Amino acid sequence: MALCEKIIHRHGGKIWLESEEGEGTTFYFTISKQLKMNPVKELVTMA
């Protein structure tokens, strides 16, 4: 669960659960449609 929470939070989302005794637990999560990604720097090599 901790790993899931980290991934979801990094994508601007939320995670929560609802539980009923004898019925089980349901996990919910959201993530942002527009992911905020860090730009990737291109490596330029000279031959």
Q: What is the pLDDT of residues 20-47, one digit of tens each?
A: 999 999 999 998 877 665 554 444 444 4
Q: What is the pLDDT of residues 1-23, one digit of tens each?
A: 899 999 898 888 999 999 999 99
**List of residues 6+ apart from 18 with CB closer than 8 A:** 25, 26, 28
Burial bucket for residue 39 (CB in 10 Å: 0-12, 13-18, 19+): exposed
